[in-house]
Amino acid sequence: MLRFAPSPTGDMHIGNLRVAIFNYIVAKQREERFIIRIEDTDKARNIEGKDREILEILQLVGIRYDEVYHQSNNLTIHQHMAIKMLEERKAFACFCSPEELEAEREAAKEAKRAYRYSGKCELLSDEEVLANEKPFTIRIKKPNQAVAFDDIIKGRLSFAPDDIDSFVIMRADKTPTYNFACAIDDMIHDISLVIRGEDHVSNTPKQIHIRNLLGYDKEIEYAHLPIILNETGKKMSKRDAASSVRWLFEEGFLPEAIANYLILLGNKTPKEIFTLEEAIGWFDLQSVSKAAAKFDLDKLRFLNREHMKRMDSKELSRAFGFADAAIGELVKCYLEEGSTIKEIKPKIEAIFSAKPFDSEWGEQMRRLQKALGEAPPFETFDELKSFLMKETKLKGKQFFKPLRLLLTGAEHGPELSHLYPYLKSYIMEIVK
């Protein structure tokens, strides 16, 4: 089984969507189940409604899953596992206050050495623990030897016991920390492969250590994806608007194009433009580059245009508030003028809005409007043009400029002969 495990703590980051996409593809390729696990154990950081938003995004992108779990529902299991570890002396109660720990961290920083837990509370006797009324966290004992694993993208990685350290598995409020909850849930969900962001590399030996101490011997495979850089070469953070999937939707990028882009990013693919379902046929996790990939909005714009071009016209029209293939075709005529729904929408809206009869072309526009009212339904623009020229006696710029304003509400744009086939059934509505 594979899983996507987002935390409902903010807008979905494109790096997370990439993780979701890769997990989905590989689950399909391996014919394994795929679940969504909402990691909501950090109550202080959870944001109400973000879980629903994540599921909506997955649906729009076309990621289907077998089940959704909320990690908080497993709280009793996490607590029981913590008790088991205490009983087996694999973990210990830690009474160090946040202030003490912070002071130790500061001291380590000043001495320019990596902070490690002092190990102080591990030495407490049962009597001392029982006699202590202060709140306590639970720490796992650090391993005796290095923990190593083979990462599908990064190769073999090994971590020394001191780098894993005796870390906290249960907070003072008796909720599990991320590493503890995640390690246990991957175990109880029988996860076979974890694909996640590279920022979790140092968590992996901790999670393996937890499961080792719990006696779980099934090996879980890991693939850590390199980070995505912004256009200036820094890690793409919340401060980069384009890092938010929601922002990209608001800017008028299609889910299909975003998925295409995230699969293409830092990867070798047999083609450039494809759908998520097509990628299942050839995607290879091993060919994902080890190096961080740079986000390129222009490339995404290019892909967006290509996907709009290929999209079913009726479906495309829906993104513009219509349900008519002709409007979808009309949108496609405007792809030279814009690459996103947001850029093209005002142009389609201008066609259906009241026209500027008070402009310098107002008089000619009225003549054309009248003639159009009397015109039979012509098949081609050429036929309509001849009819209108005859009726209005206008020609050249005097004819084309006002006609364009009347039909499109704009002074410039695609050839009227290209637009006409899709406008013709709306002429009476447009010419107003």
- What's the sign of the alpha-carbon dihedral 166, 168, 170, 176? negative
Token pair of 64, please? Answer: 């289907």
CB-nearer residue toward ligand GLU: 18 or 200 = 200
Q: Which stretch binds ligand GLU (CB under 6 A): 1-9, 88-96, 317-325, 365-373?
A: 1-9
CB-nearer residue toward ligand GLU: 50 or 200 = 200
| Smallest separation (angstroms) from ligand GLU to the CB of 182 | 5
Question: Angle CA(356)–CA(357)–CA(358) in degrees, nearest 5?
Answer: 90
Whole-angstrom Cα distance, residue 129 to residue 378?
91
Token pair of 209, please? Answer: 């250590």
Whole-angstrom Cα distance, residue 288 to residue 224?
10
According to CB under 6 A, which one of 2, 6, 96, 181 is a site residue for ligand GLU? 6
CB-nearer residue toward ligand GLU: 184 or 341 = 184
| Smallest separation (angstroms) from ligand GLU to the CB of 57 | 14
CB-nearer residue toward ligand GLU: 40 or 256 = 40
Answer for the pair 221, 152: CB distance below 8 angstroms, yes or no: yes
Answer for the pair 138, 80: CB distance below 8 angstroms, yes or no: no
Whole-angstrom Cα distance, residue 233 to residue 294?
7
Size of the site for ligand GLU (CB under 6 A): 7
Whole-angstrom Cα distance, residue 275 to residue 199?
28
| Smallest separation (angstroms) from ligand GLU to the CB of 2 | 10
| Residues 6 or more apart whose Cβ sits within 8 Å of residue 371 | 387, 388, 391, 392
* 255 is a site residue for ligand GLU (CB under 6 A): no
Taking residues 154 to 183 in sequence order and writing x for each that binds ligand GLU by CB under 6 A, - otherwise, the string is: ----------------------------x-
| Window 10-69: residues binding ligand GLU (CB under 6 A) | 39
Token pair of 386, please? Answer: 């001849």
* 414 is a site residue for ligand GLU (CB under 6 A): no
According to CB under 6 A, which one of 18, 189, 196, 347 is a site residue for ligand GLU? 196
Q: Which stretch binds ligand GLU (CB under 6 A): 2-10, 82-90, 227-235, 261-269?
A: 2-10
According to CB under 6 A, which one of 50, 139, 171, 200 is a site residue for ligand GLU? 200
CB-nearer residue toward ligand GLU: 200 or 206 = 200
* 7 is a site residue for ligand GLU (CB under 6 A): yes
b/e 108-137 (16+ beta carbons within 10 angstroms → b): eeeeeeeeebeeebbebeeeeeeeeeeebb
Please report, as ranges, the residues that interact with ligand GLU according to CB under 6 A. 5-7, 39, 182, 196, 200
